[in-house]
Amino acid sequence: MPAPVESSKKRKSVKNGGAPSKRRAVAEEDTFAETLSKIQELENQITESRKHYNNIATLISMLNIEPSAKEPELAVAVSLCRVFSRLIAAGNLTESNRAAENEKIIVAWLKERCLEYQRALMAIMREADPTSQITALTLAMRLVKERITHIPGADNNIWATLFKDIVTAVVEANNGQDLQTEFVSKFVKEFEDVRFFTFVQLAEYADVRRSPETLDTLVSILSSCDDAPAADHEFESFFVPRETKTKQLNSVNAHKKRAQEAWLAILRNNLSQAQRKNLLRIMVHNIEPWFSRPELLMDFLTDSYNVGGATSLLALSGLFYLIQEKNLDYPQFYTKLYSLLDADLLHSKHRSRFFRLLNTFLASTHLPATLVASFLKRLSRLALNAPPSAIVVIVPFMYNIFKDHPTCTFMMHRTIRDKDVAADVEKNGMNDPFDDNESDPTRTNAIESSLWEIETLQSHYHPNVAAIARIISEQFTKQAYNLEDFLDHTYQGMVESDLGTGERVLRKTPVVEYQIPKRIFTDRLLEEDGGVDSGPAAFLRELWDF
Amino acid sequence: MPPSQLKQLKASLRDSGVIRPQQSKKQKRENAKTGASAQNRNQRNAALQAIRDRFNPFEIKAPSNRSKFESTTRDGPSTAAKGYRPGVTKSLGEERRRATLLKEMKDRHKTGGLVDRRFGENDPTMTPEERAAERFARESQKKMRKESMFNLEDEEEDFQLTHMGQSLTLDGKTLDDFDAEGLDGGESDDEKSRKRKRVLPEDGEEEEEEEDQDFIDFGAEGEGHPERKKSKAEVMKEVIAKSKFHKHERQQAKEDDDDLRDELDKELPDLFEALRGMKAPPKQDEPAKQDLAAMNPERAAMMQAPEQQDTEKQYDQRLKQLTFDKRSAPTDRTKTVEEKAEEEAERLKKLEDDRLKRMRGENVSDDEDMADDDKDSFFAGDESEEEEDDAMAFGLPTSSTVPRPADMGVEDEDDFVIDDDLVETRSNVSLSLDGSDMEEEELSEDDEPEVAEQEDELINGMTLPTSTTETAVGITQSATGKLAFTYPCPADHDSFLEIIKNVPAQDVPTIVQRIRALHHPRLKPGNKDKLGKFAEILVEHIAYMADETEEPSFAVIENILRHIHSLAKTHAINVATAFRARLREISKVRPLNLIPGDLVVLSGISTIFPTSDHFHAVSTPAHLCIARYLGQCNVEDLTDLASGAFAATLIVQYQAVSKRYMPEFINYALNALCNLAPTELAAELRAFPPRKIAENLRLESSKKISSRKLQFDDVINSPNDIKGEEELKLSLITTFASLLGSSSDIWAEKSAFTEIFTPAQVVLQHISKSFKNKVLPVKSALDKINAHLTQAHLTRRPLFLHDHKPLAIKSAIPKFEENFNPDKHYDPDRERAETNRLKKEYKREKKGAMRELRKDASFVAREKLREKKERDSEYEKKYRKLIAEIQSEEGRAANDYEKEKRLRQGKR
């Protein structure tokens, strides 16, 4: 058992530790009680008369935050908070002009102590263990409340100084997960004014370039804030009760504006690729609602869209939102979209997300057939190298598009009417008219091509995938396939559906190869066959030695 | 004015031919001979009935709902339109009730009584002739059946005509075998069986003609035939029966005499003894001996055996044996060698055809519905899914039911994580031995499993019991020295390991052999299960051998695999389950990190199961496992690439027959080549997703090295020195190149061949260039691909997939029924039509039954009332009689008194 220095720590370890001798426990209890009573006494003395104000200094020194605030004395902090609250409530911290000189000195001294105490709390929030951090946060917030309530006209000042320090401390705290969650759930979500000023402070904070970790914290705090208030929202829950509320705090627009600023500050910061992806992922649900002018997101989104790869895929939905809602004009949207169809797309984990969007983008029947055909041909090319779970999506997707764009069905069925051309094809074969390198989807000539790739996939190794690929060559009697059913399949799921859980016994006896091979790995009995290796696994033996 | 009723009656009688002029005797006789008289009688009865009806118009009740308009239907006028005769029906019902219900009522509280159970005795619908004929038929049937085991009258003709006990057969030989034994035993049996049978028809017949009798049936009523004189046949039968009875009695008497005589004969020795003055010891087996004399000797011998029980058992057994004994049949001619070969070839051809059928996904003829069942079980996830899922139709699992695996390390295709914990730890168990020793062992032992296998093949997957294997064991024993002859059949892998703990690796096949021989299913009933379990253990063991041993002996693994294969022929389910369990483990624990054991198991699958099947319970998941590995695995060093190459080789081998396309293979091979190539590929290839390997694995082309054949060991250990490493790289390049070459052969027919192999062509060209065309396999693969590409270009045609017959436009014309019948229901829903029919029938039956019950009740009430009235009137009568008696007595007494009085007065 480690020898604890502080009584509270001792008490904890007594509680947590094994079974120390009773006497020792009693002794510890005694010291703890002693300290408590001493703190109580000091506190009482302060309340009794101003003579004992020096006790404040004693208490602050007892906080034990030097050199680092790893193990603070919480009881002291609590009692100090009480002391200062009382003092603030009594107006002892406000200096009046008419007060005597010595009064002024006392007030100034008290203010200094108060600042010192606040600094101590911040230090605790930054350094200490989560429990102490949370306590310190609560105490600091209480101070904020007291000071705003009892010192008239000080609110802006307090929000700008003390609260700023709190926010900074919360963001920069060591192991601050719990602290941040506590801060968000107890204060930011609860009280609308706290949220308002948090936005203000975060916007200010994020204006400077910050480290990626800090940005992560900022994003997590911001994204866990409540949903954006509706336009006719009545602001009711305030941390600091006031009769006259500032206009700002009661206006939805002001709130949104602050949030927007905070977000923008973050978006302008130096984001890593992963953070960018993360932001894009939460864009539609968490960020955009806060923006009164979503067009401000345009730059960020277009930049992300131009990055390529997964980032582009993710930017797509945000961009779509802007196009749809805010009438954003994105020149050559489809060209860009077409360029997203690269070899990685079908292997990406955002595949389903992309297909859902692509389904929306290509839903219009007014799109030119050449363009749609390019997408189809491109997808079928990609399907040749795709995992089964992607092929399973592509084919029904194509089916639906064929239903909407019957002109494209030439890609599945084409008779060459021109006799000369037919003869030429018969003699010399043909090239694929599709131009793979053309980036403009209206010029790829895909509509002249055929979907040989899908036809090849009809002999895919997995029977279910092959069956799905076969719908292209059957009659199109079904109205449309529900795309959602085909998204989100994985290798794991397919293997599991094939293998089952192993509890069920096989219903049918599996067929066994009728001939037992003479050799599998070795050259056993090769002479008998005249030295020619054939039969099963011959290929394996040809390439491998065992 | 119409003639009087009487005159009308006379006229109609004459018209219908009931009254006709007197017939001559000759005519009468003729009629009787041809049976015309009976017919005439029937006709006359019918005519009389019709006349009676005509002359009694009050009996006919007009139909209540008179049809308003004249109408014609196909069915002709309905029966109801003619009117019906309530009186007749009522009286009929009354009569029937009197016959049944009343009887029942009277018998209600009585027990016992006589029941006439002769066939058809109470059946009024049968004529006496029919009755007799039926009885005769039954009797003869019963005789034919010979139910009794001891029924000895097999050959006798039961119904032989006799006269005065003398047979009437022409050859004059009297067949005197009316056996008392047979008669008695048979009769009692017959009696019983008849009773059983009789119960049914009598119960059934009563309700039969219940319905429909409310309506007039003008046809013959079918009953009320007058009692007829006995026919000649009947008389004859009676005579026969009587004569048989007499004969039997005579025989009985004779036998009694014989018995008596026998008894006396037997007592004769006693008598002699008594005469001599000594008493013989009492004989225990007197009764047995009594019979023995009369029996045939074999049976007697059997009976004499000490235990009766035993004898019976023996007898039963023998009997059974005899019944199951094969009749001798002409044997097939011994086949010549050519014929045998031909047969064998045909068998193989059939098996191959079956395989092709399965490859195309068709059902193999004999188990069509089974396959359907199977499809359900394999493909459909949850059949009770409420909402329809399009993907389900193709056998994909519903996305909701298959949660994305979160704890797998790899979340999805995008990022690849390798879990360090999953990398296998090789134990230091060393079971391998030096090579030279092994070779020799191998040779000596190799011959005998072959023999067994040959047997195996010949008798179609059934190993012979001990005889062959015993000798085999003998052979191996000399080769391997000290090995036990008997081993228990292990129940799990651990116990198997326990068995082979101290055995050198190359002896394991011998042990497997012995275990299989010792636990051959023919030796003991439980052995089949044991061997199934053993097959599972062996599957586990091959993976174990590849995983755990430092240098797995592939000769041994191969041998065990072949054992598994041979076991799989009889225990397919067990073997498949074991393989599937292994695959499941792979997919759960290390989908992206195949260990040597997995590779061995996967190659085992390729030989044991047909990988060409459209769907196969083992090979399809195996495909998926390999594809997943190739598609998603993380390549970090050369061993990874080596195992990738092995997996790729397996894939190419899997698809050698069915030629199915496998995208993951192409991706992997091209990526591997790109990463191994001495220089980076200049052109950006857009077809396959590039995977960069963190570590630089490029071949340093400056060094002088030659490629070699890849070793399985490369999968496990990476070479230590740089030269070896470079060599391995070069070998990997050549291997992948030749894999691409072979796969281009396999997929040459694919319509998208150009699209698949153009990137391969580019990559190979690049590599070949950097080698200055010196590396042969790359060059040859490239040539192959080039040739196929030109061919593909020549054969390319636009797709022509939708050459279907155009679909018919849906018609909205109502369906017109030819020969529509309003009484028939044209419900297209068969089930609904059936239920409606049943409902209707039920309703009708219920109505009928209720009506009948009501009528019964009223009948019963009426009967009771009648009885009561009868009783009352009887009582009244009696009362009156008594009163009258008393009164007369009183009167007499009064008279006497008066007389007396008068006398006395007179005296006075």
- pLDDT tens sequence across A310-328: 788 888 888 888 888 777 7
pLDDT given at position A98? 63
Question: B571: distance to nearest CA of chain A, Å?
Answer: 9
CA distance A222 to A230: 18
Tell me whether residues A464 and B411 touch, CB distance under 8 A. no
Q: Please tell me which residue of chain A has the smallest CA distance to B743.
A: A539
The total of other beta-carbon atoms located within 10 Å of residue A328's CB is: 18
Chain B residues close to A450, C-beta within 8 Å: 798-799
Task: Flag whether pLDDT at B367 surpasses 90.
Answer: no
Least Cα distance to B621 among A468, A461, A390, A391 occurs for: A461
CA distance B486 to B482: 12
pLDDT band at B398 (very low <50, low <70, confident <90, very high): low
List all residues 6 or more positions away from A449 whose beta carbon is below 8 Å from its beta carbon. A373, A377, A411, A432, A433, A434
**Closest CB from B371, B653, B798 relative to A414:** B798
* A49-58, A140-149, B645-654: the lowest-pLDDT one: A49-58
pLDDT band at B297 (very low <50, low <70, confident <90, very high): low
Q: Is A503 on the interface with B (CB under 8 A)?
A: no
pLDDT band at B190 (very low <50, low <70, confident <90, very high): very low
pLDDT tens-place string over residues B60-69: 777 776 667 7
**DSSP assignments along A75-142, one per residue:** HHHHHHHHHHHHHHHTTTTSPPTTS-HHHHHHHHHHHHHHHHHHHHHHHHHHHS-HHHHHHHHHHHHH
Q: Choose, out of B352, B616, B802, the residue to mutate when testing the contact with A (most A CBs < 10 Å).
A: B802
Q: Is B584 on the interface with A (CB under 8 A)?
A: yes
pLDDT band at A281 (very low <50, low <70, confident <90, very high): confident
Helix (H, G, I), strand (E, B) or coil at A413: strand
Helix (H, G, I), strand (E, B) or coil at B710: strand
CB B567 within 8 A of CB B575: yes
Q: Where are the alpha helices (DSSP H) in A412-462?
A: 419-428, 452-457
Question: A135: distance to nearest CA of chain B, Å?
Answer: 36
Tell me whether residues B667 and A506 touch, CB distance under 8 A. no
**Mean pLDDT, residues B38-62:** 80
Least Cα distance to B624 among B669, B600, B597, B594 occurs for: B594
Question: B432: distance to nearest CA of chain A, Å?
Answer: 14
CB A218 within 8 A of CB A171: yes
Task: Flag whether pLDDT at B869 surpasses 90.
Answer: yes
pLDDT tens-place string over residues B213-249: 444 444 444 444 445 667 888 899 999 999 999 999 9
Phi, psi of B401, deg, nearest 5? -80, -25
Q: Record the tokens describing residue B464, joined without a space.
A: 């012979």
**Mean pLDDT, residues B893-900:** 92
CB B638 within 8 A of CB B725: yes
Task: Kindly state the percentage of chain A with pLDDT values over 70.
Answer: 78
Q: Is B553 on the interface with A (CB under 8 A)?
A: no
Helix, strand, coil fractions of chain B, as percent rounded to 5: 60, 0, 40
Mean pLDDT estimate for chain B: 74
Torsion angle (degrees, nearest 10) of CA A364, A368, A370, A373: 10
Chain B residues close to A457, C-beta within 8 Å: 661
- What are the C-alpha distances in Å from B406 to residues A314, A389, A492, A503, B93? 21, 17, 11, 23, 82
CA distance B859 to B98: 9
Q: Is B733 on the interface with A (CB under 8 A)?
A: no
pLDDT given at position B861? 94
pLDDT tens-place string over residues A169-193: 777 777 777 777 777 777 777 777 7
Strand locations in B630-766 (E): 710-711
Q: Choose, out of B751, B789, B807, the residue to mutate when testing the contact with A (most A CBs < 10 Å).
A: B751
pLDDT band at B143 (very low <50, low <70, confident <90, very high): confident
Tell me whether residues B370 and A508 touch, CB distance under 8 A. yes
pLDDT tens-place string over residues B309-325: 778 888 888 888 888 77
pLDDT tens-place string over residues B829-858: 888 889 999 999 999 999 999 999 999 999
CB A189 within 8 A of CB A225: yes
pLDDT tens-place string over residues B549-597: 777 788 888 888 888 888 888 888 888 888 888 888 888 888 888 888 8
Q: Record the tokens describing residue A319, joined without a space.
A: 């961009």
pLDDT given at position B450? 40
Q: Return residues 501-540 of B near A (CB < 8 Å).
A: none
Q: Is B555 on the interface with A (CB under 8 A)?
A: yes
Q: Choose, out of B755, B756, B795, the residue to mutate when testing the contact with A (most A CBs < 10 Å).
A: B755
Q: Record the tokens describing residue B47, joined without a space.
A: 């005519």
Question: A272: distance to nearest CA of chain B, Å?
Answer: 17
**Mean pLDDT, residues B68-81:** 64
**Closest CB from A490, A513, A524 relative to B607:** A513
CA distance B672 to B732: 9
**Mean pLDDT, residues A471-487:** 88
Question: A485: distance to nearest CA of chain B, Å?
Answer: 5
pLDDT given at position B436? 36
Tell me whether residues A452 and B575 touch, CB distance under 8 A. no
Task: Please state the pTM of the whole predicted model.
Answer: 0.60
CB B361 within 8 A of CB A429: no
Preceding amide of A67 cis, omega within 30 = yes
Structural domain boundaries in chain B: 1-61+81-96, 152-204+230-280, 634-796, 873-908
| Mean pLDDT comparison of A521-535, B326-340, B552-566, highest-scoring range | B552-566
Q: Is A438 on the interface with B (CB under 8 A)?
A: no
Least Cα distance to B412 among B694, B632, B662 occurs for: B632
Chain B residues close to A490, C-beta within 8 Å: 402, 404-405, 412
**Mean pLDDT, residues B449-454:** 40
pLDDT given at position B519? 84
**Closest CB from A346, A482, A495 relative to B621:** A495
pLDDT given at position B891? 93
pLDDT given at position A379? 92
Is the ipTM reported for this complex over the cut 0.85?
A: no
Residue that wins the pLDDT comparison between B418 and A72: A72
Task: Kindly state the percentage of chain A with pLDDT values over 90.
Answer: 8
Tell me whether residues B799 and A512 touch, CB distance under 8 A. no
Chain B residues close to A432, C-beta within 8 Å: 754-755, 796
Q: Choose, out of B354, B377, B378, B394, the residue to mutate when testing the contact with A (most A CBs < 10 Å).
A: B394
State which H helix or E strand residue A545 sits in.
strand A544-545
> How far is it between the farthest Cα atoms of chain B?
188
Paired strand residues for B710: A544
Phi, psi of B484, deg, nearest 5? -70, 155
| Mean pLDDT comparison of A500-514, B177-191, B276-290, B688-702, highest-scoring range | A500-514
Q: Return residues 403-422 of A near B (CB < 8 Å).
A: 409, 411-416
pLDDT tens-place string over residues A5-23: 444 444 444 344 444 455 5
Total residue count of chain A as it appears in this document? 546
Task: Flag whether pLDDT at A342 surpasses 80.
Answer: yes
pLDDT given at position B441? 37
